[in-house]
Copies of this chain bind each other. A is one copy, B any other.
Amino acid sequence: MTDSNAADRALDVVCVGNAIVDVLAQTADDVIEQHGMVKGTMALIDADQAEALYAAMPQGVETSGGSAGNTAAGLASLGAQCAFIGKVRDDQLGDIFAHDIRAVGAEFVTPAATDGPPTARCLILITPDAQRTMNTFLGASVNLGADDIDEDLIARAQVTYLEGYLWDRDEAKAAFQKAAELAHKHSRMVSLSLSDPFCVDRHRESFRALISDHVDILFANEDEIMSLYEVENFDDALQHVRQDCRIAALTRSEKGAVVVSGDEVHVVDAEPVSAVVDTTGAGDQFAAGFLHGYTRGDDLATCAQIGAITAAEVIDHVGPRPQVSLAELVSARLAG
């Protein structure tokens, strides 16, 4: 392992998000309907709802997750220098989260909460079509606040990457805004992932203001970008976003990705996937691949191609983080 606590190390990306342990279980389609879930989306649940849903779930597998945490793990697997900011509790799941993010080589120094709710967990139901439907009990991660944003860490990173889910809580939103302001104060770039169409619904106006004022690199999938601009088709959303944002990387599942930056537009195919097993983390890994390319100076088309490769890797197994060295995978694919 690398020394992940070298406090003067230059960083490619610092990722800020909810620190979550995933509980993944494979289920039939009817379970999603019975519990009033919307397939493919994320719902916030409280402690009681989490307990009731867990009791109804089949046996699961636990693995560190969280959107920005998954991106940090992907970046580390790509060989990037990165850090993660997020809040766990000092409990068993918190130990697992902290272990896993450090084990991949990401710097993680946010202190664990010593009281309050337990470490966040996300109950993820994987249906036979490989879609994941997520139910998040935010737990300790809601205690992430502006004080947890370390100016030095932000200043050291080329890009500060923020997950949209943070916008759901006022404290985390304050942390988010502080991180974005510090990044620009130090002439660094700010990147945002829209996270989820429902998350966009909840915060449409403030997201649009944020994007046009503060976001340099936006990640969104088709549903999210259409929801953001309240339009009926992808191309309309594309025309909107190119006015608003320096770089937008828009993912479209098997239809590939579109990257737009002013007059520059690239349409990149999806990578073939041997077996579509679990799409959890695909968007997070696309962002990891794209940002890795971007921070090492690749052109935008190559950035999107790397994103497509890293997203494809995570789709063919259960769990949201890579199971192979992405650095080796990407260099083999780009060479081949």
Q: List 23 A-B contacts (CB under 8 A).
A: A1-B56, A55-B99, A57-B99, A57-B103, A58-B103, A58-B104, A59-B64, A59-B99, A59-B100, A59-B101, A59-B103, A59-B321, A60-B63, A60-B96, A60-B99, A60-B100, A61-B61, A61-B63, A61-B319, A62-B62, A62-B63, A92-B92, A92-B93
A96 CA to B96 CA, complexed, in Å: 14
A49 on interface, CB distance cutoff 8 Å? no
Identify A92's interface contact among B103, B118, B323, CB under 8 A.
B118
How far, in whole Å, are A54 and B56 apart by their CA atoms in the complex?
31
A91: CB under 8 A from chain B?
A: yes
Chain copies in the assembled complex = 2
Tell whether A306 is near chain B: CB-to-CB under 8 Å.
no
Residues of A with Cβ closer than 8 Å to B? 1, 23, 26, 54-64, 73, 91-93, 96, 99-101, 103-104, 118-119, 319, 321, 323
Q: How far is the CA of A118 from the CA of B91 in the complex (A)?
A: 11
B100–A323 CB distance below 8 A: no
CA distance A132 to B73 in the complex (A): 24
Q: Closest Cβ of chain B: how far from A109's Cβ, in Å? A: 16
Question: Which single residue of chain B is at the shortest CB-CB distance from A93?
Answer: B92
**Chain B hits for A99, CB < 8 A:** 54-55, 57, 59-60
Contact partners of A118 in chain B: CB under 8 A: 92
Q: Which residue of chain B lies nearest to A23 when distances are taken between CB atoms in the complex?
A: B96
Closest to A59 in B: B100
Which residues of B have CB within 8 Å of A73? 59
Q: A1-B56, A62-B96, A92-B92 are in contact. List 4 more A-B contacts (CB 8 A).
A: A23-B96, A26-B323, A61-B319, A92-B118
Shortest C-beta distance, A314 to chain B (Å), equals 13
What separation, in Å, do the CA atoms of A73 and B60 have in the docked complex?
A: 12
- A91 CB contacts on chain B under 8 angstroms: 91-92
Minimum distance in angstroms from A179 CB to a CB of chain B? 25
Which residues of the other chain, B, contact A92 by a CB distance below 8 angstroms?
Answer: 91-93, 118-119
